[in-house]
Amino acid sequence: MSGSHQAGATVKARAELALNDEFLRKAVKFTTERLRNGKKKASEEHGNWDEWRERGKQIRLHTIAHLDYYLNLFVDNARANGVHVHFANTAEEAVKLTLDIAEHANAKSVVKSKSMVTEELHLNHALESIGVEAIETDLGEYIIQLAGEMPSHIVIPAIHKNRYQIAELLSKEAGYTLPPDTTALAGFVRKKLREKFLEADIGMTGCNFAIAETGSMVLFENEGNARMVSTVPKTQITLMGMERIIPSWEDLEVMATLLPRSATGQKLTMYMSGITGPRRAEDADGPDEMHIIIVDNGRSLQLGDPEFQELLNCIRCGACLNACPVYRHIGGHAYGSTYSGPIGAVLTPSLNKNIAEWDDVANASSLCGACYEACPVKIPLHDMLVYLRRRKVESGNGSKLESIGMQGFATVMGNSSRLGGVLRLGKLGQKLVVRSGVIRTKLGPLKGWNTYRVTPSLPKESFRDRFDTLDQELKQGLKQMDPAMQSRMEQLVQQRKNNGDSGKGGHGHG
Amino acid sequence: MKVSLFITCLSDAIYPRVGEAMVRLLAKYGISMQFPTVQTCCGQPAFNSGYWKEARESAKTILDAFEDSDFVISPSGSCTGMIHHYPKLFENEPVMLKRAKALESKSYEFTQFLVQVLGVTDVGAAFPHKVTYHPSCHGSRILGVKDEPLALMKQVKGLELVPLPFAEDCCGFGGTFAVKMADISGAMVTEKADHVLETEAEVLVGLDMACLMNIAGNLRYRNEPVRVMHLAELLYEGVKEA
Amino acid sequence: MAEPTAHEQWLAKLETESKTRQEQFMNGISQRLGHPRMTEKPQHPFRGAPDFWKAFEWSEDERIRAFTDNFVSVGGHVARLDTMDDAKQFIADKAQEMSAKFVIRQNQPELDALGLENALPDAKVSVWNTDPEQYWRARAAEADFGVVIADHAVAYTGSVTVLSGPNKGRSVSLLPTVLIIIIPVERLKTKLGEVLTSFDEAGREKLPAGIHFITGPSRSSDIENDLTIGVHGPGIVYALLVG
């Protein structure tokens, strides 16, 4: 773990750094807006988007609810295809297995395509520690690898860098000055990495989906590097989260409909590859030897937990990052972990069961629900953030000060006459600070709020003070209700009774 | 028919004019709103911060207040949205759970009630001003209130509705978020206010006083003269004008 | 049978370990899910796309139009040709226009019949996997043109599917600078699902090692979200719709 995200110890401190980095904010806003609009356009053009989302959710729910069956089926089939399958409960085990394979392959270098799991395991450093060069080949990943950073977006890893910064990084690598021109920069990387692909002993990939019924793994990508990595080197190692399973190729149509549209607004990524085992004996390319390492690393903690099991439905499209107003302002590094944005804010603490060590990243959300609305498999991330906060409080790891404040809240709000008393006190107290109807002081508890706003003052009368007078006035000469209106209301009340007094009032979908 | 006002603590304490506008508007249709005074706060600040025990204390006042009501109307999509969380909040208390579900089934945000229940879109108002509208997150996303306010505004004579850029983006309020993550929240509300100013509207209207207090606070801080109102206020003022 | 090598022994050891771990892993999952180990195939009522989608189908003209629009919109090129002879001419013209020196093609009868070797006198045309001594990946990497025949194509997404085999290298559609894909029009389907379900129907044992959907030239938007074409895979792709 290295890079700028280390600069602050808390999400608040890291966010502050990001908020003061004008360039970063502009870059992240620009790209997320573009991606967000792309998704909107693509989903509208495709049509019936909510039905597809619902289908995607049902497929994921079904698979995860029967994961013991489907994962086992996948493993048996993959093995029958000639794949060497391995299991890792922890990150350490996954790293150990990978290094063991690399050593037995006498590997000098590994070419990698984009994989969030390998980021999670910090695999590159582990490989380097045994003298194996690990080369990221996705353009964005290659850039941040040269910069010694972590990805700040799960789909666009170098979203926080501009072409001038990138030209500088690549020029250093080239040994001569490259112009800050996108085509020239990409051209340099193509040439440079071509050699690496042809030399490498091992190709390493992640896995977007694994098809249980045929033991195949599926990769979505645009550059062609994932195809390179799984075609050219002699050995292929695939690291996959244990939850990546879908039952069939038929189900892949739904995922292929949701994933690219949600991620980048594409109808399909330029390449979608289904790989079923190592090369056949007569094939002249493809890996001779193929390993799949199935990684738990905290994922099974969500299984059987009704509040968090749906997290395993995530297809890693990044739409929640693009939709999130907080992510847009602070960027990915402020989240301080491999996964950023709303999904990261929930996933990171969920993968780590030590509640006491949870950062306050779950607090870095206004709970606006944009993530849920954007999610192609309808994961209620905004609700999960609240559950995380509750778990932290209930385990006794909440903030002491806040806890005292909340007890005060309960005392006042638990009884309307105490609330009335507090309002009267407030009206007295505010006399010291109200100027032209508002409060501007930056002292005390209003500092944070009043750094960006003014606080309204309390009016002479609260609503509860005023209601009786108002009610008296209106009751005089209240006109008769329209009979049609009345009967509609009566009908609604009747309907509700028939439904056993449950259901939603307005046509809510939450 | 017992139609009750769930005033929400913010409108009760700071914006009584919003409650008054609602009560006066509904009186036009022969509805005499009740106001059970035992109500306090929906409990959302505690609920969202993870203090569910404390949230339940507060929520109980709401359940008590509206036990006999037929319709519970609030000027906030967020606070009505909180009532939709009550079944989860009381999931382990069967008696309370039943009451929570009953309350959820009869709770409406103000424009939902006007349009869906009363079937009203034209309140007979005139408001000859340039207006922009911020759809608050909880109202639009949790309750699905999207078309109702637009339908109501469309019928107001003289009202020119200017679309707000990135309207669906959160204003940055988020309850205790605005205090705990003051700088992030500050950046969000500043951006939201920038968008409001871009529209050159005279009036910003919305359905949730918490969000509007946040945006208005930033506009006022910058000494911008945009008027900020709840839609109920706008409609009532428009009825008086017409 | 020869003695197993040290490497094979090591793999066998891993295999044994893996099988033990598999049981523990699956038991752990079923325990967490709170049900006994599932060994029977569960009912899957939501398999595949929604029903309204399964019924959706375009006419051949619509398929050709949609495929063309989609493929062009992502930076690919499409030519509509009547016969394989036209395809040969098209490839010969392009090779001359771009001064292609090395061409690699799949070893398929339809491509044999094209007679590219004669049509491209200035280029060296290699045929995939026809000589066991060759390092074929390098031959593909040095090629200016790769020529393949599509196994399937999908109009709705503008995609072409190529399957690997002894005579059909994965590298041929990946490593050359320019990729030319011949699509017999009758292989062009409306939607992705029609092609994908054929793999379910074929079953595990009949699947090739590589199934690749290609939807245009290689691209990236990783630098300032600015589209760059031809990052690792072919930057120029021609889809020739024949028939």
Residues B177 and B88 in one domain: no
Q: What is the ipTM of this complex?
A: 0.97
Cβ neighbours of A368 in B, within 8 Å: 137-138, 141, 169-170, 174
Interface test with B, best of A28, A463, A486 (most B CBs within 10 A): A463
Tell me the residue range of the domain where B67 lies. Answer: 3-117
- d(CA A410, CA A392) in angstroms, rounded, equals 19
- B113 contacts B71 by C-beta, under 8 angstroms: yes
Summarised one tens digit per residue, pLDDT across range A278-330 is: 999 999 999 999 999 999 999 999 999 999 999 999 999 999 999 999 999 99
- Residue B177 sits in the same domain as residue B100: no
Of the candidates C7, C18, C174, which has its C-beta nearest A104's C-beta? C7
Q: Looking at the structure, do residues B103 and B18 belong to the same domain, yes or no?
A: yes
Cβ within 8 Å, pair C217-A270: yes
Q: Is C158 left (phi over 0), alpha (psi -120 to 50) or beta?
A: left
- pLDDT band at A394, cuts 50/70/90? very high
Vertex C122: Cα angle to C120 and C126 (nearest 5): 65
Q: What is the mean pLDDT of residues A43-66?
A: 97
Do both B100 and B14 map to the same domain? yes
Q: B123 in a domain, yes or no? A: no
Q: Which chains lie within 8 Å of chain C at 3 or more CB pairs, if any?
A: A
Domain ranges of chain A: 4-301, 400-474
* Mean pLDDT within A105-113: 97
Report d(CA C134, CA A260) in Å as an integer: 38
Q: Which helix (H) or strand (E) holds B3?
A: strand B3-5
Are B109 and B134 part of one and the same domain? no
Nearest by CB to residue A459, choosing from B16, B41, B138, is B16
Q: In B, residues 8-47, which contact A (CB 8 Å cutoff)?
A: 9, 11-17, 19-20, 23-24, 27-32, 35, 37-41, 43, 45-47
Nearest to A369 among B38, B46, B141 (CB): B141
Number of domains in chain B: 2
- All residues at 6 or more sequence positions from C102 whose CB lies less than 8 Å from its CB, including other chains: C123, C124, C126, C139, C142, C143, C144, C145
Do residue B100 and residue B32 come from a single domain? Answer: yes
Under 8 Å between Cβ of B62 and B103: yes
- What domains does chain C contain, in order, with CATH numbers? 58-218 (3.40.50.10420)
CA distance A418 to A228: 69
Closest of A486, A93, A458 to residue A293, by C-alpha = A93
Task: Examine the domain organization and report whether B8 and B79 are in the same domain.
Answer: yes
In Å, what is the CA distance from A312 to each residue of A211, A303, A321, C116?
16, 8, 17, 51
Residue-wise pLDDT for A339-352, tens only, equals 999 999 999 988 88
For A44-48, the CB contacts below 8 A with 24+ separation are: A46/A257, A46/A261, A46/A267, A48/C50, A48/C52, A48/C53
- Determine whether the interchain pair B141/A448 forms a contact, defined as Cβ–Cβ distance below 8 Å: no
Rounded-to-integer distance, Cα A62 and Cα A312, Å: 11
Q: Do chains B and A touch (3 or more CB pairs under 8 A)?
A: yes
The CATH class, in words, for A4-301 is alpha beta
- Closest alpha carbon to B26 in B232, B218, B241: B232
Give me the mean pLDDT over the A364-380 stretch. Answer: 97
Are B75 and B140 contained in the same domain?
A: no
Q: What is the model's pTM?
A: 0.95
User: Dihedral of CA B135/B140/B142/B143: which sign?
Assistant: positive
- Tracing tokens 């549209």 back to the chain, one arrives at A261
Across residues C141-154, what is the average pLDDT? 97
pLDDT tens-digit map of C56-93: 999 999 999 999 999 999 999 999 999 999 999 999 99
d(CA B70, CA A490) in angstroms, rounded, equals: 9
The rounded distance, in Å, linking the Cα atoms of C209 and A22 is 48
Q: How would DSSP label each residue in A440-500?
A: ---SGGGHHHHTT--EEPPPSS-HHHHHHHHHHHHHTTPPPPPHHHHHHHHHHHHHHHHTT
Is residue B124 in some structural domain?
Answer: no
| Same domain, residue pair B87 and B147 | no
In the predicted model, what is the mean pLDDT of residues A108-128?
94
C-alpha span between C235 and C216 (Å, rounded): 9
Look at residue B47 and tell me if it is in a domain.
yes
- CA end-to-end span of chain B: 29
Give Rg (Cα) of chain B.
18
What whole-number distance in Å separates Cα of residue C216 and Cα of residue A269? 9
- Nearest alpha-carbon partner for C182 in C76, C74, C91: C91
Q: Is A326 on the interface with B (CB under 8 A)?
A: yes
Strand segments, DSSP code E, in A323-468 are 434-435, 438-439, 455-456
Is residue A510 over pLDDT 50? no
Residue B206 and residue B236 share a domain: yes
Mean pLDDT is lowest, of A148-162, A250-264, B67-81, for A148-162
Locate the chain A residue with the closest alpha carbon to C157: A267
Residue B113 sits in the same domain as residue B154? no
A267-271, A457-461, A501-505, B52-56: which has the minimum mean pLDDT?
Answer: A501-505
DSSP H helical ranges for B30-181: 44-49, 52-65, 77-89, 94-105, 110-112, 137, 147-154, 177-180
pLDDT by residue for chain B (242 residues), tens only, comes to 899 999 999 999 999 999 999 999 999 999 999 999 999 999 999 999 999 999 999 999 999 999 999 999 999 999 999 999 999 999 999 999 999 999 999 999 999 999 999 999 999 999 999 999 999 999 999 999 999 999 999 999 999 999 999 999 999 999 889 999 999 999 999 999 999 999 999 999 999 999 999 999 999 999 999 999 999 999 999 999 88
Flag whether B125 is in a domain. Answer: no
With a CB cutoff of 8 Å and minimum separation 6, the contacts of C70 are A267, C155, C156, C157, C158, C215
Neighboring chain A residues of C22 at a CB cutoff of 8 Å: 72, 75, 85, 87
- From first CA to last CA, the distance across chain C in angstroms is 51
Single-letter amino acid code for the residue at B57: E
CB A375 within 8 A of CB A316: no
| B135 and B107 in a common domain | no
User: Residue B193's domain is classified under what CATH number?
Assistant: 3.40.50
In this prediction, residue C1 carries a pLDDT of 60
Which of residues B77, B96, B117 is at a domain's end?
Answer: B117
Classify residue B174: in a domain, yes or no. Answer: yes
